[in-house]
């Protein structure tokens, strides 16, 4: 049976089918979204709760713990972490990848409702939650800054004007305002004036609450008309609040301005934000999953001229960071690499065939396979991203293999003196089984990837489907279009063809190489025991190299952005922290590689403590600076010279994989119900980790030396005076807790009215003695008669992981260090330092690395097993698949050696390259063995004679396909263009594996064929089977 015969006889049908593939492929390409990576959705929900003025321990015990107990019952919950700091708790719930985020959100809402009755009664608002995707960072950052306007006014434009307009753009998921300075009325009480007027703090707060009302008062129904009743109970700004009567003394009103300073302010006074040194804020814009990043950013940026014209002249609007720029640059470079690869592969074909007409035939398989694959990508909802385009680029090197093999075999039959049609029919029939075997077995390599779970499976799902589609389409093209074109283009061989000098020179060189191969192959077959020993040594060397090579996870990329987390000592005064942050800002601003930066201090760090901050640094284009690693280390060295503050400089990964937000990229978590043992173990572990040579920027979220004022209430004395503990704590919360006592309802938003003591009293513990509360008999009682206080230390934040107290130690890697080595070093250290009662685990990317190493081993074994089964089915043999797979160790040696020589670790990309080699390398063996099996079956040749003849006859197509695959991968291995540093390990692994395996399998495969054929013959005699070789018809 000849599957190509129908298409050769019906060229019009074949042409129209191929045209349809091209047309639909082009249409699909124009509709594919553009992104940097495949869409990876981590079902994550973040719950936020606040209790103004509550210390971290109170927030952890009274807010975090009740909520965590309810959340722990939700199905599909993978991990739960919480951070409780001054007045706020943030709980992060990460679900398994299979869990539907919308269903999980309903369960979270139900759990919050159930937990409400166990939460403190004085919480001003119920806990809120939002769906987040830690793997999808904002695509655009816009900054609003002003050297003269109040930040509360700038915030109005940011939140109520720009954010609302941008959120309506198609494809925008949400707009967050970082560094928000929302308007608020601030009431700062004076204890002296309160004492003079005989007023307590709680009485003033109650008067303010009752003085600003917004109640529905109904309608007046007359005989003809109805009238809506509107009262004037609302107060809208500080000027409205100042004359508010809070009490009467001696027949005269006591107004709010008599006991407090009332002024327009902002909600958060202990936070500062800058853009390039000017006070401002940032709008972070996130896209909806599956949308075109480039188009969404383009649509948002189209609004900027309109915004500029409507904003006051004093407000500066700038683009801080545009992720689409790096995406366009990276995608453009990958597309250029794709075109370059196509050109190199066509050049290889021409050099071997040396005829333009013959070169055109297999070259047409390239656009057909690539463009046809776009239709499959569109049907599966994929995007044009670095992963899918890398798959297409790699496929270019071997999608022409089938067409080359088909063409070469038809030409060989033509050189036997056959007519064009006869050569096409006989040649296509003879090679059809070989092409089907190569195509199916190559595509089968990637089947296990489709069933992988976790982050690796999500990332490389598009890769596997894309490359499989390209391979299968190329097999279809080689069996249909290629023989049809041969019948129309290839001229019959008359034995008198004259060629130019270049042709003859190349032919003599190739024939010389072929004769050399024949002599060395004969020597190898004679010394088959020595060759078998060499192959065993190669297998051992593969294992040794795999154990020795450093292991990594996802390679770092140069996206032109750095993140700097900053931290000062616990309890540092806000003004001092602000001054130190500004010193860091000046260093960053003066670096020649920095284009823009945004800085936030006070609640800007992972724990949102007052001693932390962040800088987001946007770098200049690559052409105007050095590699990002050099910039990172230079800034790290300069920033470390500022006294009193630590700076942790990191290159944020392209995709963030779970884990707790921390100052370092990698996290190691310790958990124990015994907090004393936990904190001691964490402190010892942090100290010892700082001594490890392979890691840097070691830092812990365990901050328990924050200065605090501990107040001990004399409950008996308070009770005797008719004063409750609640009254005392309520007065303290109002005085020092930045407490919301009322709300202002404006047409566009709602604003807080905040009460506290004046700043001169908040900075002095002696102000406690000035506070008073009213007793049951109506007299004011000083707090100093009801309580004692003293200085101590306490936690800046309290952290939980899975409901247990936890401490997380974060770290970064120096240049050239591998994640695998760091994980091994930390694990070994933990076994020495951490007691058995404390459980430990890596989190985030480090945990994903551990899981992926186990998963990739399974993937490698499954890929080999699937290939073996497919080949066994095709050849109806248990033995021949082993012969075909005998070249895999040599490919592994080449890949691992190349990675080590070029200083690359074995990361996910490199591992995928090795898996690809399983499919590519076996092509050479298939071409040899197919011919040998046919020679034994049809002509009665012995095993040694048959495999020798097959190796020599197939030498030209083997060299052509190998060179085409090499040229197809070489541009990726060279690491040219934006984002190429991530793709390079894959290219190096394939190039190195091809070079070494090409040399060794030309000799190993024939020897294995001899040994295994003899073994099969013995098995056949043992079980009484007559036939030993399947038909390839």
Residues 741-794 have pLDDT tens digits of 888 888 888 899 999 998 888 877 888 888 888 888 888 888 888 888 888 777
Q: Is 508 exposed, middle or buried (0-12, 13-18, 19+ CB in 10 A)?
A: exposed
Per-residue model confidence (pLDDT) at position 685: 92
pLDDT score for 606:
39
**pLDDT of 52 above 80:** no
Highest mean pLDDT among 425-439, 515-529, 646-660, 1018-1032: 515-529
**CB contact set of 209 (below 8 Å; sequence gap of 6+):** 741, 742
Burial of 746 (0-12, 13-18, 19+ CB in 10 A): middle
| Same domain, yes or no: 403 and 447 | yes
Same domain, 121 and 211: no
Q: Over 70: is that where the pLDDT of 1027 sits? A: no
Portion of the chain with pLDDT greater than 90, in percent: 24
In the chain, % of residues over pLDDT 70:
96
Buried/exposed 852-861: b ≥16 CB within 10 Å, e otherwise: bbebbeebbe
Q: What is the mean pLDDT of residues 605-633?
A: 80
How would you class 931 by CB atoms within 10 Å of its CB: exposed for 0-12, middle for 13-18, buried for 19 or more?
Answer: buried
Q: Are residues 1011 and 920 in the same domain?
A: yes
What is the arithmetic mean of pLDDT over 46-60?
86
1032 pLDDT higher than 70: no
Q: What is the pLDDT of residue 502?
A: 64
In this predicted structure, the answer to whether residue 106 has a pLDDT above a threshold of 90 is: yes
**In sequence order, which ranges of 451-500 are alpha helices (DSSP H)?**
454-489
Residues 193 and 218 in one domain: yes
Q: DSSP states of 119-178 as a string? A: S-TT-SS--EEEEE-TTS--SEEEEEE-SSS-HHHHHHHIIIIIHHHHHTSTTEEEEEEE
Residues, the chain, total?
1033
What pLDDT digit, counting tens, does each position of 12-37 carry? 999 999 999 999 999 999 888 888 77
Identify the H or E element spanning 105. helix 101-115
In this predicted structure, what is the pLDDT of residue 607?
42
Q: How confident is the model at residue 506 (pLDDT cuts 50, 70, 90)?
A: confident
In a domain, 271, yes or no: no
| Average pLDDT estimate for 804-810 | 89
Query: Of 187, 3, 143, which is closest to residue 755 (Cα–Cα)?
Result: 187
Beta-carbon-side half-sphere exposure of residue 477 (alpha carbons within 13 Å): 30
* DSSP tag of 76: T
**Which of 738, 763, 794 is at the close of a domain?**
794
Rounded CA-CA distance 41/104 in Å is 14
User: What pLDDT, on a 0 to 100 scale, did the predictor assign at position 359?
Assistant: 80
Contact 245, 189 (CB under 8 A): no
**DSSP 8-state secondary structure symbol assigned to residue 591:** S
- Asked whether residue 913 falls in the same domain as residue 1030, the answer is yes
Please indicate, yes or no, whether residues 56 and 23 belong to a single structural domain of this protein: no
The reply to whether 455 and 373 lie within a common domain is yes
The mean-pLDDT minimum among 138-147, 220-229, 653-662, 1022-1031 falls in 1022-1031
Residue 169 resides in a domain: no
b/e map of 679-705 (b: 16 or more CB within 10 Å)? bebbeebbebbeebebbbbbbbbbbbe
Specify which of 184-193, 551-560, 937-946, 951-960 reaches the highest per-range mean pLDDT: 184-193
Report the CATH number that the domain containing residue 938 is assigned in CATH.
1.20.1640.10
Please provide the average confidence, as pLDDT, over all residues in the chain.
85
Q: At a CB cut-off of 8 Å and minimum separation 6, what does 357 contact?
A: 489, 490
- Do 261 and 124 share a structural domain? no
What pLDDT is attached to residue 352? 75
Per-residue DSSP letters for 695-735? Answer: -EEEEES----EEEEEEEE-HHHHHHTT--HHHHHHHHHHH
Distance, CA of 476 to CA of 435 (rounded, Å): 10
Average pLDDT, integer, range 882-906: 90
What's the mean pLDDT in 508-526?
88
Please report whether residue 865 resides in a domain: no
* pLDDT of residue 604 exceeding 50: no
Mapped onto helix, strand or coil, the DSSP state of residue 380 is coil
pLDDT at residue 864, as a whole number: 86
Mean pLDDT of 153-171: 90
CB 740 within 8 A of CB 208: no
Whether 590 is in a domain gets the answer: no
975: confidence class by pLDDT, cuts 50, 70, 90: confident
Report the domain count for the chain.
4
pLDDT given for residue 498 in this prediction = 56
Q: pLDDT band at 317, cuts 50/70/90?
A: very high
Q: Which of 794, 829, 852 is the last residue of a domain?
A: 794
445 lies in a domain?
Answer: yes
At 328 the pLDDT is 82
Q: Is the pLDDT of residue 957 over 90?
A: no
Residue owning tokens 């900027």? 304
pLDDT of residue 496: 53
Range from 81-85, 134-138, 218-222 that averages highest in pLDDT = 81-85
CA-atom Rg of the chain in angstroms: 36
Q: Is residue 761 part of a domain?
A: yes
Whether 477 has a pLDDT exceeding 70, the answer reads yes
pLDDT band at 909 (very low <50, low <70, confident <90, very high): confident
Q: How far apart are alpha carbons 591 and 984 in whole angstroms?
A: 29
Residue 1033 confidence (pLDDT) above 60: no
Note the pTM of the prediction, 2 decimals: 0.78
CATH number (domain holding residue 50): 3.30.70.1430
d(CA 282, CA 274): 9
Q: Which residue has the higher pLDDT, 850 or 12?
A: 12
pLDDT tens for each residue of 676-734: 898 889 989 999 999 998 888 898 887 777 788 888 888 888 888 888 888 888 888 88
In a domain, 331, yes or no: no
Q: Which pLDDT belongs to residue 500?
A: 59
Q: What range does the domain containing 896 cover?
A: 508-548+876-1033
Same domain, residue pair 1025 and 890: yes
Of 81, 158, 332, 233, the C-alpha closest to 748 is: 158
Residues 1026, 880, single domain; the answer is yes
Residue 401 confidence (pLDDT) above 80: no
* Domain final residue, candidates 117, 132, 147: 132
Whole-angstrom distance, CA of residue 380 vs CA of residue 391: 15
**Coil, helix or strand at residue 611:** coil
H helix or E strand, kind and range, residue 12: helix 11-31
Please give the span between the terminal C-alpha atoms of the chain, in angstroms, as a whole number.
6
Burial class (CB in 10 A: 0-12, 13-18, 19+), 1022: exposed
Asked whether residue 113 falls in the same domain as residue 214, the answer is: no
Task: Judge whether 1004 and 887 are in contact, CB under 8 Å.
Answer: yes
473 with 517, same domain: the answer is no
Place of tokens 């807790």: 737
Confidence of residue 389 (pLDDT cuts 50, 70, 90): confident
In a domain, 1004, yes or no: yes
pLDDT in the model for residue 937: 74
């Amino acid at each position: 049976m000849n599957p190509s015969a129908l298409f050769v006889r019906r060229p019009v049908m074949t042409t129209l089918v191929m045209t349809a593939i091209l047309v639909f492929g082009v249409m699909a390409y124009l509709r594919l979204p553009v992104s940097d990576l495949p869409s990876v959705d981590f079902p994550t929900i973040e719950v936020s709760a606040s209790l103004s003025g509550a210390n971290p321990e109170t927030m952890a015990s009274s807010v975090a713990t009740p909520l965590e107990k309810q959340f722990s019952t939700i199905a599909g919950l993978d991990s739960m972490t919480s951070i409780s700091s001054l007045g706020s708790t943030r709980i992060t719930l990460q679900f398994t990848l299979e869990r539907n985020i919308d269903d999980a959100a309903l369960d979270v809402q139900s759990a919050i409702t159930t937990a409400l009755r166990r939460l403190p009664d004085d919480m001003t608002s119920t806990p809120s939650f939002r769906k987040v995707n830690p793997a999808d960072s904002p695509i655009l950052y816009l900054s609003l800054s002003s050297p003269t306007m109040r930040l509360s006014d700038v915030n109005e434009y940011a939140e109520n004007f720009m954010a609302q307009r941008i959120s309506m753009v198609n494809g925008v998921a949400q707009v967050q305002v970082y560094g928000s300075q929302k308007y608020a009325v601030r009431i700062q009480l004076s204890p002296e004036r309160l004492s003079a007027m005989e007023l307590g703090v709680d009485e003033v707060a109650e008067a303010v609450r009752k003085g600003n009302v917004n109640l529905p008062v109904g309608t007046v129904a007359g005989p003809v008309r109805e009238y809506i009743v509107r009262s004037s109970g609302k107060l809208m700004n500080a000027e409205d609040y100042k004359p508010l009567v809070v009490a009467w003394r001696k027949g005269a009103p006591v107004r709010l301005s008599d006991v407090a300073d009332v002024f327009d302010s902002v909600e958060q006074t202990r936070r500062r934000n800058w853009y390039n040194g000017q006070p401002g804020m940032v709008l972070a814009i996130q896209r909806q999953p599956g949308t075109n990043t480039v188009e969404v950013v383009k649509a948002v940026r189209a609004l900027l001229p309109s915004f500029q014209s409507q904003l006051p002249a004093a407000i500066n609007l700038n683009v801080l960071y545009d992720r689409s720029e790096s995406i366009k640059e990276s995608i453009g470079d990958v597309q250029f690499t794709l075109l370059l690869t196509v050109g190199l592969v066509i050049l290889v074909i021409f050099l071997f065939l040396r005829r333009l007409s013959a070169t055109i035939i297999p070259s047409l398989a390239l656009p057909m396979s690539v463009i046809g694959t776009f239709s499959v990508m569109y049907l599966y909802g994929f995007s044009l991203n670095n992963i899918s385009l890398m798959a297409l680029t790699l496929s270019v090197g071997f999608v022409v293999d089938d067409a080359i093999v088909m063409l070469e075999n038809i030409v060989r039959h033509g050189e036997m003196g056959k007519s064009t049609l006869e050569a096409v029919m006989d040649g296509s029939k003879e090679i059809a089984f070989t092409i089907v075997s190569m195509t199916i077995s190559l595509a089968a390599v990637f089947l296990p990837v489709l069933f992988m779970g976790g982050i690796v499976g999500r990332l490389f799902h598009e890769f596997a489907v894309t490359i499989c589609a390209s391979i299968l389409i190329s097999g279809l093209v080689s069996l249909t279009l290629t023989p049809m074109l041969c019948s129309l283009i290839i001229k019959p061989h008359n034995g008198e063809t004259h060629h130019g000098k270049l042709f003859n020179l190349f032919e003599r060189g190739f024939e010389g190489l072929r004769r050399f191969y024949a002599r060395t192959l004969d020597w190898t077959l004679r010394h088959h025991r020595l060759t078998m020993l060499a192959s065993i040594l190669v297998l051992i060397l593969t294992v040794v190299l795999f154990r020795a090579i450093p292991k990594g996870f996802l390679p770092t990329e140069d996206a032109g952005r750095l993140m700097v987390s900053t931290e000062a000592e616990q309890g540092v005064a806000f003004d001092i922290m602000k001054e130190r942050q500004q010193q860091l800002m000046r260093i960053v601003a003066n670096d020649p590689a920095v284009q823009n930066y945004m800085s936030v201090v006070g609640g800007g760090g992972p724990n949102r403590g007052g001693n932390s901050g962040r800088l987001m640094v946007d770098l200049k284009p690559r052409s105007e600076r050095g590699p990002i690693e050099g910039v990172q280390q230079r800034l790290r060295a300069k920033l470390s010279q500022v006294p009193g503050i630590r700076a942790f400089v990191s290159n944020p990964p392209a995709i963030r994989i779970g884990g707790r937000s921390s100052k370092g990229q990698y996290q190691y978590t310790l958990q124990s119900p015994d907090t004393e043992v936990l904190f001691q173990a964490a402190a010892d572990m942090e100290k010892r980790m700082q001594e490890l040579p392979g890691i840097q920027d070691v830092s812990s979220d365990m901050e328990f030396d924050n200065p605090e004022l501990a107040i001990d209430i004399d409950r008996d004395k308070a009770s005797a005076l008719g004063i409750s503990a609640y009254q005392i704590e309520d007065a303290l919360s109002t005085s020092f807790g930045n407490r919301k006592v009322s709300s202002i309802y404006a047409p566009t938003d709602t604003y807080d009215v905040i009460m506290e003591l004046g700043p001169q009293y908040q900075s002095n513990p002696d102000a406690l003695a000035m506070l008073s509360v009213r007793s049951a008999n109506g007299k004011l009682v000083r707090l100093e008669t009801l309580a004692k206080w003293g200085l101590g230390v306490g936690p800046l934040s309290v952290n939980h992981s899975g409901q247990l107290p936890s401490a997380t130690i974060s770290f970064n890697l120096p240049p050239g260090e591998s994640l695998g080595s760091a994980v091994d070093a930390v694990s070994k250290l933990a076994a020495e330092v951490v007691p058995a009662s404390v459980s430990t685990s890596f989190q985030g990317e480090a945990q994903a690395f551990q899981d992926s190493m186990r998963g990739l081993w399974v993937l490698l074994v499954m890929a080999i097993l699937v290939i073996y089964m497919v080949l066994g089915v095709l050849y109806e043999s248990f033995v021949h698949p082993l012969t075909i797979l005998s070249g895999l160790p040599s490919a592994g040696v080449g890949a691992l050696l190349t990675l080590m020589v070029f200083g690359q670790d074995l990361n996910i990309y490199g591992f995928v390259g090795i898996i690809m080699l399983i499919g590519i390398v076996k092509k050479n063996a298939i071409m040899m063995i197919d011919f040998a099996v046919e020679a034994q079956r049809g002509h009665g040749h012995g095993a040694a004679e048959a495999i020798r003849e097959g190796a020599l006859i197939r030498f030209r197509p083997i060299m052509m396909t190998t060179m085409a695959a090499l040229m197809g991968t070489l541009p990726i291995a060279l690491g040219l263009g934006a984002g190429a540093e991530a793709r390079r390990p894959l290219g190096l692994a394939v190039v190195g594996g091809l070079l070494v395996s090409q040399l060794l399998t030309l000799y190993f495969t024939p020897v294995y064929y001899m040994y295994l054929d003899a073994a099969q013959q013995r098995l056949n005699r043992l079980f009484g089977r007559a036939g030993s070789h399947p038909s390839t018809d």
